[in-house]
Structure 1
């Protein structure tokens, strides 16, 4: 395995305590809570953090152990990520217990590497931001426990971060980075307006398309912690559809099947298989990929013959063909046709999402695309066209904003930056002393996890509005019912000891 670390733009390989155990490699409310809404309302008067502010971000929601140190003015001082691709590839998906064990083996080395890259020790930090949900409880607990241990030892604030909000906000950081680079290179006068706009990052309000292996949704971002869900997937996430299709076509899925499928699709004819674009008769922003996945399976059966899954990952169905040069063109045609329809579905919904958003917030100026699937070049090209059409005749055009690919997948930088944004609004808390006054590893510590944590309130026209409302209400009840009175906060909470 490998530990991938960056400091000042450099990347190097270094060994952790146990490379075999770490399996390291680069890859891959709100419901607004009452507390979140209050901080969002107070945010307008919040002042920027001092450049000397240093926030450590920790991410462990799924199968990437990420960490980073980011300054108050948006400089990434160090970042590292430990991936578990090799561990989970043979199983065809993330195995929670194995993921937890890998996180536990990697977390100390990842954090130490980041602090070393930044040239600081933990005592010099201002706060620790950590993903508390949504995600796998076993995995989340590893990161949260580590964050609490550091915060208690050094008297630091802890900032709880929503995983998907971190994805949505990282574009505000990367746009500032672009402005900094343009200034350093001496931007031409013709580019001054662009540099000036980028200096503020991505201004609120904006529309965000979150596309990953676990989530697919359109958000209208009004401010930090203040989101309207314009639409979401009614069944499978788009990233899962890419992964399943890649596996079905015999492609390697370590690090996610999306990149492998995109590479194969480049060799194929996107019109070869007449897959239907899902839900075109439904005038909403909701998404659906389950039917498309099924259509791909039937097409593979018909065009390649045999079963539908490999290595027994789906019901142990037998496959009667093997990927080879002889059937590569057929597989490429299926991949290209799937990608065309999946991207068209997202673009159709993006067009409507911008329309709905502008009805509520006329000054929406950006469509931010975040999550692992945001790295897909075909999707980016399609969304550029959507933004161009949406901008026709407008004084304030809509621009497409895509973070660099390494910030599209799970990472510590996005969590650290979300922590910076929240600290600016007065969020963050000093943890109470542990029972008995001991700081032993997790003993007596109340670890707050939110494995199912809605982000935002649903748009009234969304197909999924009823189910989302019910989920939001159930999490609000959980928060007040199950959490100790001294620790009760708005939002869902799950106790883990």
Structure 2
């Protein structure tokens, strides 16, 4: 198999680095390289572009140095890791030339979540139009690009393949280098596009439908994972709770639940905070989801009735559950961030920023509560604008730019790449090396515990006696 990018997974999170000791500044990139092993392909590419100035060795007639200004770096970013087809064109100085997103909201509402095969088909139907529109809105063609960046993981392999295939077609046809991007790294690094003062090292909380990550970003490509989710991520818990409460999934369950929660009493339902007994930075939302489902059953809420058809009393009950769930779900984030800040400052005392990014970071309640945590610990909170928190092509393009400056990219694929070529995809792909103190006993489902208030219910009930028997069975398994 020909590796697209990222040959190793280590604490330095390194990509295939074909350059020796690349050097760059924030505004001007200077890459010192030796490309004699790659033949003339790069000579024709760079010398014919106005974006680069080249110096060649008189003896080998090969490029030994590429010098380019950030204004001349232009990267197309393609993102298809899950349920949105996105593309964007970004300049090296941070200027967003275009941003296009094709939503799968209709599919989400129809299937109550992401259906991988349907999502793949939806990506395939629109990927060409989305990319072309991104180029058109940037008033550029592929010939103006310096490189193509594309998400190769983590995500749904069927969906990732669509974006990678398109990226390789463009890169091969127009002789462009290609940068494979880690989806969660992109969520973290897009903060550096909107906050130019954000330098390494910094702490990042990445929260989305599939991920909860607390990461110490020590340098570009060098990450220490302080905490992760041991089961369900917060975004998935938001979506499931929203669906059970009969909310519309068209704009995403998270925003609908946050809106309903404003009507409720956040203290009315006594949900327990997950993993209080585990003194680490890991996350768990499976137990909280089960608590929500049991609360819905106990209040005899008809989950088949959409919120717009509910009586005022029923709506009030649902709002109380939404508000109580949100309070505890975010309190879990707060507690983990408190501990992560303490750990991170011991490793890197110069840290000044906490970056909060990912789809759930667009939630205003989340931002407000974490803002208080950061303020109390003397740090600054950096949250990208909501349109850059959800999955988008800008974050992919910008991450591609960051690594392109360092010379971390692959050479153009062949223009006649065979149809059966096996792409290097990373559906499951850790970001950095796990911090020793971050390992949790709860990683073993046999030792994970549940709240005492649920134990008696679970032990005295058969799966058939409860409407949500799959979660109850899981909880029994968790309880050992």
Q: Distance in 2 between matches of 1:269 and 1:344?
A: 16
* 1:124 is the counterpart of 2:144: yes
Given the superposition, is the C-alpha separation of residues 462 and 41 from structure 1 closer, same or farther in structure 2, using an over 3 Å criterion? Answer: farther
Distance in 1 (alpha carbons) for counterparts of 2:430 and 2:264: 38
1:4-41 deviations in whole A, cap 9, x for unaligned?
xxxxxxxxxxxxxxxxxxxxxxxxx7544674397999
Report the secondary structure of 2:312's partner residue.
Answer: coil
Moved more, 158-167 or 250-259: 250-259
After superposition, the CA RMSD in angstroms is 2.4
* Residue 273 (structure 1) shift: 0.8
In 1, are the aligned partners of 2:19 and 2:408 still within 8 Å (CA)? no
**2:386 counterpart residue number:** 405
Select between 126-135 and 247-256 the one with higher mean Cα deviation: 247-256
Aligned to 2:134: 114
1:355 maps to 2:334: no
The alpha carbon displacement at 1:278 in A equals 1.1
Which residue does 1:8 correspond to in 2? Answer: none
**What is the CA distance between 1:50 and its match in structure 2?**
2.7
| Residues 331 and 160 of structure 1: CA distance in aligned 2, closer, same or farther (over 3 Å) | same
Partner SS, residue 255 of structure 2? helix
Matched ranges for 1:323-402 at <5 A: 323-391=310-378, 398-402=379-383
Identify the range of structure 1 (456-465 vs 282-291) with the bigger mean alpha-carbon deviation: 456-465
Q: Is the 8 A contact 1:30 1:226 kept in 2?
A: no
1:58 counterpart (55, 78, 81): 78
| Offset, 1:464 | 4.5
CA positional deviation for 1:323: 3.0
Q: Does 1:167 align with 2:198?
A: no
The number of residue pairs the alignment matches comes to 395
Mapping 1:200-219, distance limit 5 Å: 200=197, 202-219=198-215
Alignment match of 1:255 (pick from 251, 255, 275): 251
Give the Cα–Cα distance (whole angstroms) in 1 for the partners of residues 20 and 94 of structure 2. Answer: 23
Q: Which string of whole-angstrom CA distances, capped at 9 and with x for unpartnered residues, describes residues 229-288 of structure 1? A: 100111100000000111111101123200000000001111111111111221110111
Aligned equivalent of 1:274: 270
Residue of structure 1 in register with 2:281 after alignment: 285
What is the distance in 2 between the residues matched to 1:256 and 1:390? 32
Q: Which moved more, 1:278-287 or 1:261-270?
A: 278-287
SS at match of 1:430: coil
SS at match of 1:218: strand
Where does the alignment leave 5 or more consecutive residues of structure 1 unmatched? 1-28, 177-199, 312-318, 392-397, 469-497
- What corresponds to 2:155 in structure 1? 135
Contact 1:206–1:222 (8 Å) recurs in 2: yes
In the aligned structure 1, how far is the partner of 2:437 from the partner of 2:419?
46
The verdict on how the C-alpha distance between 1:376 and 1:414 changes in structure 2, with shifts beyond 3 A counting, is same
CA contact (8 A) 2:154 2:429 kept: yes
Contact residue 459 and residue 465 of structure 1 kept, 8 A? no
CA distance in 2, matches of 1:365, 1:40: 31
The residue aligned with 1:299 is 295
Task: Indicate conservation of the 8 Å contact 1:239/1:373, yes or no.
Answer: yes
Question: Is the contact between residue 15 and residue 409 of structure 2 (CA under 8 Å) also seen in structure 1?
Answer: no
Instruction: Determine helix, strand or coil for the equivalent of 1:326.
Output: helix
Pairing of 1:230-249 with structure 2 (within 5 A): 230-249=226-245
- The answer for the alignment partner of 1:477 in structure 2 is none
Partner Cα distance (2:14, 2:365) in 1: 39
**Cα pair 1:269 1:332 within 8 Å, conserved:** yes
Structure 1 residue 123 displacement after superposition: 1.0
**Equivalent residue number for residue 423 of structure 2:** 447
Give 3-state SS (helix, strand or coil) of 1:449's partner: coil
Query: Once structures 1 and 2 are overlaid, which stretch shifts more, 418-427 or 48-57?
Result: 48-57
Task: Provide the rounded CA distance (Å) in 1 between the counterparts of 2:337 and 2:276.
Answer: 13
Asked whether 1:457 is paired with 2:433, we answer: yes
Q: Is the 8 A contact 1:211 1:373 kept in 2?
A: yes
Consecutive unaligned residues in structure 2, runs of 5 or more: 1-7, 30-68, 445-480
Residue of structure 2 in register with 1:36 after alignment: 15
Q: Max radius of gyration: which structure?
A: 2
